[in-house]
Chain A
Amino acid sequence: MRTSFASRLGLTLETAAAWLLALLWAAPVLYAVWAAFHPTGYATRFELTAPLTLQNFVSAWDAAPFGRYFLNTVLLVCFVTGGQFVLCTLAAFVFARSRSRWMSALFAIVLVQLMVMPDMLIVENYRTMRALGLVDTVFGIGLPYLASAFGIFLLRQTFLQIPAELEEAARLEGCGPWAILWRLYVPLAKPTYLAYGLTSVAYHWNNFLWPLVVTNSVNTRPLTVGLAVFASTDQGIDWAIISAATLLTAAPLLLGFLLFQRQFVQSFMRAGIK
């Protein structure tokens, strides 16, 4: 009796806490949805009878070059994620299969990157990009992120789990190292690529500080920076339009996550990331 009461109480508390956290997390989004779909006057007045409108979206879209920002962000995300896939795959393959005695030391050095906050490196990265003449280019925004220790680590773990006999079978069937990588390792690591790709896309879609520092023109600014510039100066503080713009910029990502939710969670479970 008592234990079941205690466990039920525990369950109730857990559920309540989950709801509370969910509400806290959702509140700003819900507010943005409210503000974006109602005329400006209702941004701080919550009435169920308030008229709905799409005018805020139109105004936001017209007020700043969001089309260009979208393009920049998409280019950036494709470049970074694509580059990470290529580099991390190659590095992870070597780290997983080389028998050199230097490998564990080298791998440890790569892992040190995980302990360095990316924001700490902003100044140094900026100097490097300027030296390379890449300031204010999409290429320059993405370049510092290409060699991701996290990606190398994840893929290496996945590759290590692939039985050596599969590779030997492939070798006997006439595959060289490239064919083994392409026909065996990459397809078998698909869940890891999906999970890692999604985190990477989300991170770079939302990344703000570094792009803010390294860009200074409409032709390179990604959405996040564009939105900030738009919200701070161009518009005064019109919450309705800012909310509409925010929803616009987050929409593709939100939509993608809602669509891929199940695969996303599954592949994270399989890749062993929490």
Chain B
Amino acid sequence: MTAAPASADAIRLDSLRKQFGSTTVLHDIHLRAARGRFVVLLGPSGCGKSTLLRVIAGLERADGGRVVLDGRDVAELPPAARGLSMVFQSYALFPHLDVAENIVFGLRARRVAAAEREARLARAASLLGLEKLLKRRPSQLSGGQQQRVALARAIVAEAPICLMDEPLSNLDAKLRGEMRREIRALQQRLGLTMVYVTHDQAEAMSMADQVVLMRDGHIEQDATPAEIYARPASAFVASFIGTPPMSLLPLVAHAGGAGIAGLPDHLLAPASAAGALLGIRPEEVVPAEDGLPACVTAAEFLGAETVLACALGSGGALLQARIPGHHALPPGSPVRLRLPPLAHLFDANSGKRLPLPPFA
């Protein structure tokens, strides 16, 4: 095979397919990640994130398509020759080795000279603040410390690509926030191309350069966090991103336009939008005297804000509203809410994003 032309992509996946027995877990995955990017694979449990990561790592064989890393097709390369390191969800630290030996395990296996090994160990340990823990066994470390050891083992290999499978899911909320920043900073300092799996959309939005949202083995959307928030490509993406995520309201035809069933006086979109789903960001809903009449079904106090779940009209449409301040409204209270201008429309059947219709 001739050397592939130098490309800026550290990772390229072409129509990648993976099946276990008769169930297809990955369908036709296309993905490009530029060098030095922080890519987050996001999606609900069971959508194939781990499988995709393992195919890239070479721990599973693809059943079709190509994995190209740094311009090389790696189909025939074993995991160790692909120029990547990986952090497992369970950390996969070797229980019989102390922290130092865990970190240099790969260097020993690759027969890196002792002096070089020591130098790299010292660098990795100081980068992650592990100097005092080098003689401990993994079982004598806290979750956060184990996480750091796993990170150190990954970076000491100095591989250009680093894969992480839900590395923070075992940590408490505070530590998770800290580790997020540390990982992000480390990735930028070392210029790593990172593929990071999570099912926590807040984690994805805060860390990523590029969010790849998956569902049932497909990529639903591959975009920057800002883009995925501003223009979700499908109703599924819309209902996955945001705290709380976008509300989806079915539109029906009324005289002179489209609106919520049972509220013919409040037109929300041109008539051509009838039958589609209207997407509303909860943070853009404001209480107003002239707003839509709604009925509170639940109120959730978050501190600075209150999330109200409200029933709208007669069709059982559910709208969430995130409103500053504390509003202890009992279920059944009437409220009036003003919706933002029309911005997101989705096809009710396929879930695809629809272009906004011009106002007639």
Binding site for B on A (CB under 8 A): 163, 165-166, 168-175, 179, 183-184, 187-188, 190
**Is B86 at the interface (CB under 8 A from chain A)?**
yes
Contacts of A171 in B (CB 8 A): 59, 78-80
Collect the chain B residues with CB atoms within 8 Å of residue A165's CB.
88, 90, 92
With A166-B94, A183-B109, A188-B96 already in contact, the answer to whether A173 and B88 are too (CB < 8 A) is no
Chain A residue nearest to B87 in the complex (CB): A169
- When the two chains form their complex, are residues A173 and B78 in contact, meaning their CB atoms are under 8 A apart? no
> Is B80 touching A173 in the complex (CB atoms < 8 A)?
yes
- List residues of chain B with CB within 8 A of the CB of A179: 109
B109 and A163: CB pair below 8 A?
no
User: Please, which residues of chain B bring their CB within 8 A of the CB of A170?
Assistant: 94, 105, 109
How far apart are the CA atoms of A166 and B114 in the complex, in Å?
24
10 A-B contacts (beta carbon < 8 Å): A163-B90, A165-B90, A168-B59, A168-B79, A170-B94, A171-B59, A172-B57, A172-B80, A172-B106, A175-B80
Taking CB atoms and an 8 Å cut-off, the chain B residues in 105-154 that contact chain A are 105-106, 109-110, 153
Shortest A175–chain B CB gap in Å is: 5
Residues on B with beta carbons closer than 8 Å to the beta carbon of A173:
80, 105-106, 109-110, 153, 157
- Give the nearest-CB partner of B111 in chain A: A174
Which chain A residues border B51 with CB–CB below 8 Å? none
Residues of B within 8 A of A (CB): 57, 59, 78-80, 84-86, 88, 90, 92, 94-96, 105-106, 109-110, 153, 157
Residue from A166, A168, A174, A188 within 8 A of B106 (CB atoms)? A174
Please give me the residue from chain A that is nearest to B104 by CB atom: A173
- A35 and B6 alpha carbons, distance in the complex (Å): 88
Contact of A174 among B88, B109, B153 (CB under 8 A): B109
Report how far A227 CA is from B230 CA in the complex, Å: 90
Contacts A179-B109, A183-B109, A188-B96 given; does A174 touch B90 at CB 8 Å: no
How far, in Å, is B50 (CB) from chain A's closest CB? Answer: 11
Contact A187 B96 (CB under 8 A): yes
Partner of A169, one of B78, B84, B86, B110: B86
Which residues from chain A contact B59 at a C-beta distance below 8 Å? Answer: 168, 171-172
Question: Once bound together, how far apart are the Cα atoms of A111 and B57, in whole Å?
Answer: 37
Complex CA distance for A184 and B110, rounded to whole angstroms: 15
Please name all residues of chain A whose beta carbon is closer than 8 Å to the beta carbon of B90 when the two chains form the complex.
163, 165
Q: Point out the residues of chain A lying under 8 angstroms from B92, CB to CB.
A: 163, 165-166, 168-169
Task: Out of A172, A183, A187, A188, name the residue touching B85 (CB < 8 Å).
Answer: A172
Chain B residues within an 8 Å CB radius of A187: 96
From B85, which residue of chain A is reached at the shortest CB distance? Answer: A172
A179 to B111, CA, bound (A): 12
Cα–Cα, bound, A173→B104 (Å): 9
A171 to B109, CA, bound (A): 10
Instruction: State A168–B85 Cα separation when bound (angstroms).
Output: 11
Give Cα A163–Cα B94 distance, bound, in whole angstroms.
Answer: 10
13 further A-B contacts with Cβ under 8 Å, apart from A165-B90, A168-B79, are: A165-B92, A169-B88, A169-B92, A171-B59, A171-B78, A171-B79, A172-B57, A172-B80, A172-B84, A173-B80, A175-B80, A183-B109, A187-B96
Contacts of B80 in A (CB 8 A): 171-175
Q: Could you tell me the distance in whole angstroms from the C-beta of A108 to the nearest C-beta in chain B?
A: 25
Which of the listed residues A168, A173, A174, A187 has the most CB atoms from chain B within 10 Å of its own CB? A173
Cα A221 to Cα B79 in complex, Å, equals 53
CB distance from A180 to the nearest CB of B (A): 9
- CA gap between A274 and B157 in the complex, in Å: 44
Do A184 and B79 touch across chains, with their CB atoms under 8 A apart? no
